[in-house]
Structures are given as structure tokens and as C-alpha cells.
Chains A and B, each alone.
Chain A
Amino acid sequence: MTEIFDPEFFSSIARLTTPILLAALGGSICHRAGIFNIGLEGFILLGAFMAVLGSFFANSAFVGALTAVFGGLFLSIIFAEFHLRRKGDPIVISIAINILALGLSTYLLRSIFKVSGVFSHPEIEKIPHIQLPIIENVKILDLLINDQSILFYLSIVIVFILHYFLKYHKFGLWIRVVGENPEVLKSSGINPVRIKFLVLLLCGLLCGLAGAQLSISNVGLFVENMSAGRGWIAVVAVLLCGGRPIPLFLLIILFGLVDSLSLRIQGLGLPQQITELLPYIVCLAVLIIVSYKKLRTFSRIIY
């Protein structure tokens, strides 16, 4: 047992969780605003590549995070152009964005860095990690959340900010309204398209950060198709939680836990293909529980 639950197990939870959490927060505001954005995978991937690009050339993690955000915003604007202005179907656009991000990052990797597969270089500056002396004495907290990247702490703060923002801020109220019925917002004199555009930009920003966390927080390298399904996990989490930030946070922690666990038990000799399935099995399990609860409430109304 100690082989599984070693210190690395605890500290890896936060590391594995942060990119998914950031992307899912972006996805959740889209969800609340009625934009069916399942392109998070592509957003993360391009963000991850752009982070490496910026960090490598500027020798600065901050610039890396900034370029990652620009990558996210770039996709947001594409999404907005096709969805909001040209009234395109969000699913089609999302799929296009996923494919575009994969192709674009792979192409740029080869044409800029002249490598294929992996690009790693010592000049890629990593996002600094933070030590919180206050919790060093509490063993479990120290293991869980100390010595993590700035983005980890930021993402936790965003969870709560977003929660209060949606509930008590006027823009948050508008986001909820535009998601339920844009006509209502329009009749109150607020342009629903503008709200949705801002929401998409916010989503791009958060997903860009998610990508930066993935590529320049711990490893400092970029791998083709690096997002590897994290965006999809984020989409699932958003849908299961109805875009509510706090349940979303808890669910993603659960995913992170399982993900981390699956990495650990690989060491025990289980085939990698099976352990890598674990997070997805948990996804399905949660889905079944949620839909069972929904079915029960529903059956009381209609057979």
C-alpha cells in the first residue's frame, strides 16, 4: 500500500488536476451561457504549444503563459466568428477547433522547432512553484498543495471567484440568463451576442492557462497531442455538474485522484492500457449515478 500512497501520489493530484480544472472552468461559463463548447481539448493543446513557444523564445515563463492565453483567445475568436456571427453549429465548430489545434500545433512544431513528436529544451523556462511556509507543518496539506505552480493556486481562487461572480455579479446574472433564454436578455436591452463573445474570450483565456500548466509548469516540453483527452474529461465534468463551479471543482479533484492512482498502480505491474482507462471508468460511473438520479426525478412526472 505504501507503494501506492507515497508522497508523489499526493503531490501529483494537484499537478494532474490543474489543467483540467482551468479548462473546465472555461467550459462551465460557456455552458452557463448556453454555448455548447466541446472544443476544450483543442484549446488546451494550442495553449500548451504556445506556452512552450513563448517560454522558449522569450526565456520567460510569464511570456509563455501570455502566449498560451493568446493561443486560447485566437481559437475563441474563431469560435465566436463562426458560432455567433455566422450562426454555425457549435458541435461542428468545436470538432473543427479540435482538429485545427492538433494539426496546427503539430505543423508549427515541425516548422519552427524542426522536430517531430517531442520538443524539449533547457531554455524553456518553467512556471515558478510556490512554497507556503504556513502549511509546512501540516503533513497532508504540505504534500497535497505545497510546492505547486502559481496556476494551481490561481485556479482554486478562480473556482470561488466564479461561484460568487455567477451568483452576485451583474455580468454573472447576464451569463445565466443568456444561457436560459437570450430573448429575455435582449428585451432587457442587453445584447446577448456581446455577452456570449465575452464568455468565449474568458473561456479561451482559461483554456490557454490550462495549456500553459500542462506544458511549462512541471515538464517544460511539448508533445504532439499533449492534451491527450484532458479536454474531454473537462467537457464531461462541465456537463455532469451543469456548469456549477464548486461541484465541478470537487468532481475534478476526484478525477485527479483516480488519474494519479492509475499512474501509481502502473508501478505494480498492471498493464498501462488498463490503468489509463481508470479515469474514464470513473467518468462513466459518475454519469450513471447522475443520470439515475435524474431519471428518478423525471419518472415522477412522466412515465
Chain B
Amino acid sequence: MKISLRDITIDYDNLRAIDDLSLEFHEGEIHALVGENGAGKSSLMSVLYGLNLNYSGKILFNDKEIFWSSPKDAIQHGIGMVHQHFMLIDELSVLENIILGYELDDALGFINFAKIQTEIKALLKLYDINMNLSELVTNLSVAQKQMVEIIKLLYRNAKVLILDEPTAVLTPNETEIFFKTLRNFRLEKKIIILITHKIDEVMSISDHVSILRNGKLINSSKLKQTTKKKIEEQIVGKKLPKLNVRRVIIEEQKILEVNSLRLSTRFSHSQPIDLFIKQGEILGIAGVSGNGQNELIESILGVRKVLSGSIEYLQEDITHKSTRYRRIKGISFIPQDRRKDGLAIKSKVWENVITINLSDQKFSIGPFVKKKSIKNYANQLINEYSIKVDNLNSSVLTMSGGNMQKLVVARELSNNFPLIIIENPTWGIDVGSIAFIHQKILDIKAKGAAILLVSNELDEIEVLADSAVVMYEGNISKRITKDIKFRENIASKMLSGVHFTENING
């Protein structure tokens, strides 16, 4: 089987999202689709998947032109898509989620659950997948949820699998398992289209790679005929700047000190947490998300009450202080979820550039806001961080993910606070923005900030952190210092989660 997209052009209001683009996908191939945010990958796939019908150009199946009026048509042609944000309903069971829209029913429309269950169980057996069909989706791990999405496609007999950033939320171990499944699909002559930001994954799993930039196809070739460096340059459109890692002397002063902290009853069996960060140091916290990183951050910020233990910031006990107090005292925070926690997303860009420093005389007189000086400040940040934005008065919603994240980073780093808490700062953004944000984080460290960096990306911790700990079920490992085997040491600690308590004791 072969699918061709011919001369596809998509126009949104006054923006050309896809510009006269032609591509071919072959069976038994993993085809990686890479490009910056807003390069047009998702727009292109929404055409193939039947979500977007306002395009010009042709879709060909084995050189025969086809049309569809809804995703259902596309699904019937064997095209399935796993969206970046899972299309699952938490409150329903795995089974109900899988069959949604493809229910086997009797004459009255009642669903024949027994028959469906046997069918799906056969599928699971065939592909050697473990899944409890009657479990509620809300109780599943992220990797399991993703598997539900895949089973959904298999149940619908999909021959083409479009996967939008499938590994963004997976741990290295889960990614490996996931790739194994992908390779099985390849053996069965399925077409796999992999949208991703991670060039390493492209290099390790794909057969063919296509690079999009500004709605145009920059290059499409067999993986063997290109290199990692070439791909990266084609994505960004210029040579990527090398990270400028200055040697910073870590001062002896401890900015943050956490002593025998108990986070939550959820981790009642884990050891209390001790950690510290010195001035000019980046401490990385690695680990699969959901192992207490969130609780730790919330405790330091004062959003969550701790069970016991103390938190000291600049030699002051802040365990029972309010979040506002801590922020005013100089704790910056870059949250993982920029849309939910980082920005007031429907508000204007300039309204989003200040937080705790609003009461500065620079930005307000009494209860009144100095709009002009805030706007000036916003312009300053936008220039310094090269944030792409139409207009200071347009809502944050109009910005791309990478630019939103830059805005959050700009706001939080420009306070020049002594302590910065950062949570997955480059989640789901493009290589260009990632490099930029990494550089900014290193720069602020060089100015003497202490940084707590929680990241699911081993790469990120390897590049940025001076030392790292791994979190597992509320436990924290011994400090791993940066040396030649930094990455391997972290990874092995992450994998040996089961024996974790022994590691701590021993």
C-alpha cells in the first residue's frame, strides 16, 4: 500500500499553514515527520485524518484519489491517529474507550460487550499486550493510556498509524517497549507516521524522514541518506548555536535546604527527603513522573502542606509560610503545564509578563497598574528572548507552544531571584526553542542562581545539571555527581526502582 499527498495547501484565515506540499508514505516503513512547532505537521496530518476538509490538493491511495467528509471515512480507509493529548475519557473503562464509535450492537442499539471483549482479547494476545479492559482509564499510567489509544486503532483495523509525539510522555524504558511494538507493526506492513521533536528517536527507529518548516517540505529522504546534524539544521533553518557552558564556581552557601521532609500519605512507606541546592548549582531531579516530583515542588512552593520536616530558604525556615511570602522572598517557578499553570492563557501577552513583581513601584502606583511601563517591560522581554508574537495586546492563546514557554521562562528568569524551580521546561517544544531555553537557564545559573530542575528528559538533565538525584515512589536517591558516567548512573537508578530502598540504605 502507498499513500500520497499531492500539492496540499491549507490556508487558515490569513495564514498559509501548508504550502503546496507533496509527500509519499510506504507500507512497512516508519516515516518520521519533524519540524518546529507551527511548521505544519499537525495541519498536514489533520488533512490525512479527515479532521480538516478545507484544503486544496489530492490524497491518493495506491495512486487512486480518495475523498472523505469526516474522520470516520478516514478510519474506514484504515487511517488511525493517536493525538498528542489523548482522546480518552477518564471516567470510562478501557473497553468503553476502545469501542467508542465502533460499537457492535444489537437491533435496539444495545452494545454486545461480551462479543467485543473476546475480540479485543484475541487482539491483545496476538500483539502480546497486557491490559485490563474493565479498568477505568483514570487509573492507568500514561504509557498504558497510550497503549489504549493504540489498541483502539488496532480494533478499528488501522493500516496507517499516525502518532503525534508519542514518546513525549514516556520514560526511556517505556519508550523502548513502545518502539518494540512499533517495530512489530512495521513487520506487519503497516504505515507508521511518527511526528516527533526528538531527533535521537528519529535516528534510532525511523526508516524515512521528512522535515517541514513554515508549511513547506524542506527535505524527504531515507534515514540512511542524512545525518542527525543535517536534520537539525533543516528543522531550524540555520546552524544551531552550540550551548555555551561556562564554568561556574558553586558557592558554599546553601540557598535551599530540605530536611527530613514527608510529602504525602501516598508515600507513607518512603524515606523522608533531604536535599540542598547551593548558589550557582543546578540540581536535577530525574525519574518517571508521578513519583513525588510534583509533591516536592508543591511543598517547596507552599501550595501543599507537608506532613513533617522543614524547608529552609536562605537560612530562614519557610515551612509554614504562604506561597506569596515565598515568592516575594525570591522563588521563581517555571511550571510544566504552561497553558494551565504558567500563563493566564486568554489574557493578553503584556498582562502575562509580571507576577509577583507587580507591586514594584516600576509597575504600579498603589492599586493602579502602570500599563505603559509594563508594556515597555514586555517589549524588552520579547526582544531579549526573541519571542514571536503578533501584538502585545493579542491573547496568549495565539502563540505557539514554544513561544508560550519562552514567555514563561522570560518572566520567571528576569526577576533574577536566588532560587528557581523548573519543571520540564522544554516539554513538547521544538529544538530551536529548547536550545534557547537551555542557554538561558545556564546563563542565570552563571549569575549565581540556585536551580531545582525536574525533568523527565535524561538529555536535559545531562546537559544542564551539576548533579542529580532520582525520585522513585517518594524516595530520593543519593546524589549522583556529574562525571563521564553521569547519564548511565541516572538511567540505572531509574530502572532499578524496585530495589530503590536498598540502594538508599546501602
Name A residues whose Cβ lies closer than 8 Å to a Cβ of B.
Answer: 168-171, 173-174, 176-177, 180-181, 183-190, 300, 302-303
Q: How far is A171 from B111 in the complex, measured between Cα atoms in Å?
A: 10
Take A168-B113, A189-B72 as given contacts and tell me if A176 and B92 are in contact as well, using a CB distance cutoff of 8 Å: yes
Chain B residues with CB under 8 A of A183:
87
B96 part of interface (Cβ distance < 8 Å): yes
Q: Are B89 and A176 in contact (CB under 8 A)?
A: yes
**Cβ contacts A to B, 27 pairs, < 8 Å:** A168-B111, A169-B105, A169-B109, A169-B111, A170-B111, A173-B96, A173-B103, A173-B111, A174-B100, A176-B89, A176-B92, A177-B100, A180-B90, A180-B91, A180-B92, A181-B89, A183-B87, A184-B87, A185-B100, A185-B101, A187-B71, A187-B83, A188-B102, A189-B71, A300-B265, A302-B304, A303-B304
Chain B residues with CB under 8 A of A173:
92, 96, 99-100, 103, 111
List of 3 A-B pairs having minimum Cβ-Cβ separation, nearest first: A189-B72, A188-B101, A170-B103
Q: Are A187 and B87 in contact (CB under 8 A)?
A: yes
B440 part of interface (Cβ distance < 8 Å): no
Chain A residues with CB under 8 A of B88:
184
Take A184-B100, A303-B305 as given contacts and tell me if A189 and B91 are in contact as well, using a CB distance cutoff of 8 Å: no
Chain A residues with CB under 8 A of B110:
168-170
Q: How far is A302 from B88 in the complex, measured between Cα atoms in Å?
A: 24
Which residue from A168, A189, A303 sits with its C-beta under 8 Å from B101?
Answer: A189
Q: Are B100 and A188 in contact (CB under 8 A)?
A: yes
Chain B residues with CB under 8 A of A169:
105, 108-111
Chain B residue nearest in CB terms to A173: B96
Given contacts A177-B100, A183-B87, A185-B101, 16 further A-B contacts (CB under 8 A): A168-B110, A169-B108, A169-B110, A173-B92, A173-B103, A176-B89, A177-B89, A184-B88, A184-B100, A185-B100, A188-B71, A189-B71, A189-B73, A300-B265, A302-B304, A303-B305
Interface centre among A177, A181, A189 (most CB of B within 10 A): A189
Distance to closest chain A CB from B81 (angstroms): 8
Chain B residues with CB under 8 A of A176:
89, 91-92
Q: How far is A173 from B103 in the complex, measured between Cα atoms in Å?
A: 10
Take A171-B109, A183-B87 as given contacts and tell me if A190 and B305 are in contact as well, using a CB distance cutoff of 8 Å: no
Q: Are B265 and A177 in contact (CB under 8 A)?
A: no
Task: Summarize A's interface: helix, strand, loop or mixed.
Answer: helix
Chain A residues with CB under 8 A of B70:
189
Chain B residues with CB under 8 A of A189:
70-73, 75, 101
Chain B residues with CB under 8 A of A177:
89, 92, 100
Interface centre among A177, A190, A300 (most CB of B within 10 A): A177
Q: Are A190 and B87 in contact (CB under 8 A)?
A: no
Take A168-B111, A190-B101 as given contacts and tell me if A184 and B89 are in contact as well, using a CB distance cutoff of 8 Å: yes
Chain A residue nearest in CB terms to B102: A188
Q: How far is A120 from B90 in the complex, measured between Cα atoms in Å?
A: 52
Q: How far is A83 from B304 in the complex, measured between Cα atoms in Å?
A: 39
Chain B residues with CB under 8 A of A185:
100-101
Which B residues between 262 and 283 are near A, CB-CB below 8 angstroms?
A: 265
B147 part of interface (Cβ distance < 8 Å): no
Chain B residues with CB under 8 A of A184:
87-89, 100
Q: Are A180 and B109 in contact (CB under 8 A)?
A: no
Q: How far is A189 from B51 in the complex, measured between Cα atoms in Å?
A: 9
Chain B residues with CB under 8 A of A188:
71-72, 87, 100-102
Distance to closest chain B CB from A144 (angstroms): 31
Chain A residues with CB under 8 A of B99:
173
Chain A residue nearest in CB terms to B76: A189
Q: Are B72 and A170 in contact (CB under 8 A)?
A: no
Q: How far is A186 from B304 in the complex, measured between Cα atoms in Å?
A: 37
Q: How far is A176 from B88 in the complex, measured between Cα atoms in Å?
A: 12
Distance to closest chain A CB from B345 (angstroms): 17
Chain B residues with CB under 8 A of A187:
51, 71, 81, 83, 87
Which B residues between 147 and 205 are near A, CB-CB below 8 angstroms?
A: none
Q: How far is A171 from B108 in the complex, measured between Cα atoms in Å?
A: 10
Q: Are A180 and B89 in contact (CB under 8 A)?
A: yes
Q: How far is A160 from B132 in the complex, measured between Cα atoms in Å?
A: 28
Distance to closest chain A CB from B205 (angstroms): 25
Chain B residues with CB under 8 A of A174:
100
Q: How far is A190 from B92 in the complex, measured between Cα atoms in Å?
A: 17
Q: How far is A186 from B103 in the complex, measured between Cα atoms in Å?
A: 15
Chain A residues with CB under 8 A of B103:
170, 173
Q: How far is A300 from B102 in the complex, measured between Cα atoms in Å?
A: 38
Interface centre among B70, B71, B103, B110 (most CB of A within 10 A): B110
Chain A residue nearest in CB terms to B90: A180
Q: How far is A181 from B90 in the complex, measured between Cα atoms in Å?
A: 10
Q: How far is A186 from B72 in the complex, measured between Cα atoms in Å?
A: 9
Q: Are A170 and B71 in contact (CB under 8 A)?
A: no
Distance to closest chain A CB from B254 (angstroms): 27
Interface centre among A168, A180, A188 (most CB of B within 10 A): A188
Q: How far is A108 from B88 in the complex, measured between Cα atoms in Å?
A: 48
Distance to closest chain A CB from B117 (angstroms): 13
Interface centre among B81, B87, B265, B305 (most CB of A within 10 A): B87
Chain A residue nearest in CB terms to B304: A303
Chain A residues with CB under 8 A of B92:
173, 176-177, 180
Distance to closest chain B CB from A181 (angstroms): 6
Q: How far is A170 from B92 in the complex, measured between Cα atoms in Å?
A: 13
Distance to closest chain B CB from A90 (angstroms): 19
Distance to closest chain B CB from A100 (angstroms): 31
Chain A residues with CB under 8 A of B87:
181, 183-184, 187-188
Distance to closest chain B CB from A300 (angstroms): 7
Q: How far is A149 from B108 in the complex, measured between Cα atoms in Å?
A: 28
- Bitwise, B106-139 to A at CB < 8 A (1) or not (0) is 0011110100000000000000000000000000
Q: How far is A173 from B116 in the complex, measured between Cα atoms in Å?
A: 15
Chain A residues with CB under 8 A of B303:
302
